[in-house]
Amino acid sequence: MFSMPEASELVESFPSYIPLLVTLGVVAASLLAARWYFQRKEAKFGTHNNFSRPIVMLVLTAFALVALIIALPLKDGTKDQLLGLFGLVMTGIIGLSSTTFVANAMGGFMIRSIASFRSGDFVRVGNTFGRVSARGLFHTEIQTEDRDLTTLPNLYLVTNPVTVVRNSGTIVSASVSLGYDTHQAVIEPLLLEAAKGAGLEDPFVRVMELGDFAVVYRVAGLLTEVKQMVSKRSQLHINVLNTLHDAGIEILSPNAMMQRPLKDGQKIMPVASPVSAPTPKVEDVPENRIFDKAEEAETIERLVFERDKMVKEKLELEKQLSTLEGEEKGAAEKRILFIDTEVVRIDAHREAIQGEGESKNAPAEQ
């Protein structure tokens, strides 16, 4: 039958629990301090590239468990058995999850080391296309053309081809099938005109296929402002449609005559539009709404990079102040004051961006 220990026994055994209590206090303080540090860092720099937090917290938790086992008021043989059991359990967990957990972590390290893309870049992985909105240790988040957020494991990214749109420019194209009754020399200038009207540089036209009933043309050009890729692709299709219709050219294969009876000489094309299409404002491009989170992530990452660069420059100048004299010292002090002002400006800009993002994502009040 179980009996409660007497008060005297508890008092006598209390000193043996002091190491355990001290260890508990140190472990709790360490975990809380690490959590406070990362929360402060996230508030200052954002959570878009929170790469080190999961690693540090996992390592601290493992060390905390080992320290608690060592501090238990048990015999050395029992402690050794508990440590062995803990090591065996951890080995089993790592072994069973190595294909996902560890593999994704290794994939995150590989992506960071290669640095093939960063926040804000347009990427295509399989059937997923969009802009990178967050990069983590185990996953990468992509904001699609529907403004939705797609999370891809890093293991998937390192085992599949990733297409990254270059910031210097990309090729935007549109394909169209036209009948053999219209000469290529007539079609090519019209397609070039449509591409130039969409704001593409150095446009060109290629014949992609000679089909049984139609010729497939592809018009393309260089887009230097890649952030407008979605809207420019749509504008190119609109320009191709309107330019060919205005020239009296059907965008329809002749075999449609065999599927739908038409009057002799009737063309499948709309009548001329009575009103001109409105010209979209440059600042009102749909990408600003579609990729808002990716744009925020790119801006914050760029601001953090600029801030770190200025802080390093300030530290170097402060080290050199003792060796400088006269005008050189005065110029260095002015530069330090300028850096301090810029750091404050960057911090305010970043906080404003994060505040706007939080207000957009906040649930609406009922």
**Is residue 2's pLDDT more than 50?**
no
Q: Is residue 141 within 8 Å of residue 120, measured between CB atoms? A: no
Instruction: Read off the pLDDT of each residue in 145-150 and give the average, rounded to a whole number.
Output: 86
- Give the number of other CB atoms < 10 A from CB of residue 191: 25
Q: Give the pLDDT confidence score for residue 96 in this predicted structure.
A: 65
Least confident of 54-58, 192-196, 221-225: 54-58
208: tokens are 């992609």
- As a whole number of angstroms, the distance between CA 74 and CA 17 comes to 10
User: Does the 170-284 domain belong in CATH 3.30.70.100?
Assistant: yes
**DSSP H helices in the chain:** 7-45, 53-71, 76-97, 103-114, 154-158, 184-197, 229-246, 287-290, 292-320, 326-361
3-state secondary structure of 87: helix
Taking the CA atoms of residue 244, residue 246, residue 251 and residue 253 in that order, the dihedral angle to the nearest 10 degrees is -110
Q: How confident is the model at residue 359 (pLDDT cuts 50, 70, 90)?
A: low
**Is residue 245's pLDDT more than 80?**
yes
Least confident of 51-60, 138-147, 220-229, 327-336: 51-60
Count Cα neighbours of 225 within 13 Å in the Cβ-side half-sphere.
12
Q: Express as a percent the part of the chain with pLDDT over 90.
A: 11
Q: Is residue 230 within 8 Å of residue 286, measured between CB atoms? A: yes
Q: Give the pLDDT confidence score for residue 258 in this predicted structure.
A: 45
- As a whole number of angstroms, the distance between CA 141 and CA 135 comes to 6
3-state secondary structure of 348: helix
Architecture of domain 122-164: Roll (2.30)
Residues 6+ apart with CB under 8 A from 311: 339, 343
Over residues 253-273, the pLDDT tens digits come to 656 544 556 677 666 666 665
**Is residue 174's pLDDT more than 70?**
yes
pTM of the model: 0.57
211: tokens are 């089909």
